[in-house]
Amino acid sequence: MKEREITALETALGYCFRRRGVIEQALTHSSQAREREAQQAVESKYKVNDNEQLEFLGDAILALVTSEELFHRFPQFREGELSKLRAHVVSERHLIRVAQRLELGHYLRLGRGEEKSGGRSKTAILVDALEAILAAIYLDGGMEPAREFIVREILTPELERMEREGGAMPMTDFKSALQETLQGLGMPQPSYVLVQEAGPEHSKTFTVEVHLNTKNGEGRAEFVGRAQGSTKKTAEQDAARQLLSYLASRPQSAGARLARGSRSADR
């Protein structure tokens, strides 16, 4: 690949590769690898690496990161709901939209036959390349940049889209779930505070905090969740999700246990 093409791809991916060979392999389809090997047939051991092994690794990384993120974001979901949501996020139907948005077809290294048959726009080839790129990021920079890429480019935009459009996946109203949870614990309702509004009118970003209030309403909040979103509603829902995760992870307080015991005695 030409230097300017690699630079353009890195800009689109939001990641700069230290080893150019790994990203070039991620973009090399088997059709070109076999074609180049045939051209060097006189050298029986000549081998050109394609992206098939990287695609295998990237698929596993995508599943792991997606599973972990969904596990933490949706603590109230049952196993079946989490599996259904993960299946959607890692599906070919969704990943092809990500690959097209990143314009990966422009950077593919294809054999002449695949080029003539429209390989740059084929769903399977584009999705495989996307997963190979995930592996390339992981091999070049480790799990953290791979996780950041998945969350930024694959997971979060789709969850936000589903919430805006009322998708069929099991998306919970976290604010309502939080209200019910706090009622069940005998705790006061949270406070939502808009702390920042930035950006132009057509592309604003809202930052919202949710405060877990003390029982008597005095003193500092026990926990503050903070989230950003393209709408106040989205930010509030994500902040409520954080507070739900916090409640699920903390030891039960004596007050909450007494509250439950009192309700049980009244029955």
Strands (E), the chain: 191-198, 205-212, 223-229
Catalytic residue among 50, 55, 128, 131: 131
pTM: 0.62
Amino acid letter, residue 151? V
| Candidate from 21-30, 124-133, 138-147 with smallest mean pLDDT | 21-30
Instruction: Assess contact for 192 and 229: CB atoms under 8 A.
Output: no
Q: How far apart are CA 203 and CA 233, in angstroms?
A: 15
Query: Domain boundaries in the chain?
Result: 3-165, 174-266
Does 158 qualify as catalytic in the annotation?
Answer: no
pLDDT tier at 110, thresholds 50, 70, 90: confident
CA atoms within 13 A on the CB side of 157: 11
Q: State which fold the 3-165 domain adopts.
A: Ribonuclease iii, N-terminal Endonuclease Domain; Chain A (1.10.1520)
Identify the CATH assignment for 174-266 out of 3.40.718.10, 3.40.50.150, 3.30.160.20, 3.30.70.1110.
3.30.160.20
pLDDT tier at 219, thresholds 50, 70, 90: low
Catalytic residue among 59, 69, 236, 238: 59
What torsion do the CA atoms of 169, 175, 176, 178 make, to the nearest 10 degrees? 110
Q: How far apart are CA 23 and CA 37, in angstroms?
A: 20
Q: How far apart are CA 233 and CA 48, in angstroms?
A: 50
Considering 82-86, 150-154, 181-185, the range whose residues carry the highest mean pLDDT is 150-154
Task: Please give the average per-residue pLDDT across 39-67, as a whole number.
Answer: 82
Does 131 qualify as catalytic in the annotation?
Answer: yes
Residue 194 phi, psi (nearest 5): -80, 115
| Candidate from 1-10, 40-49, 233-242 with smallest mean pLDDT | 40-49
Residues in the chain: 267
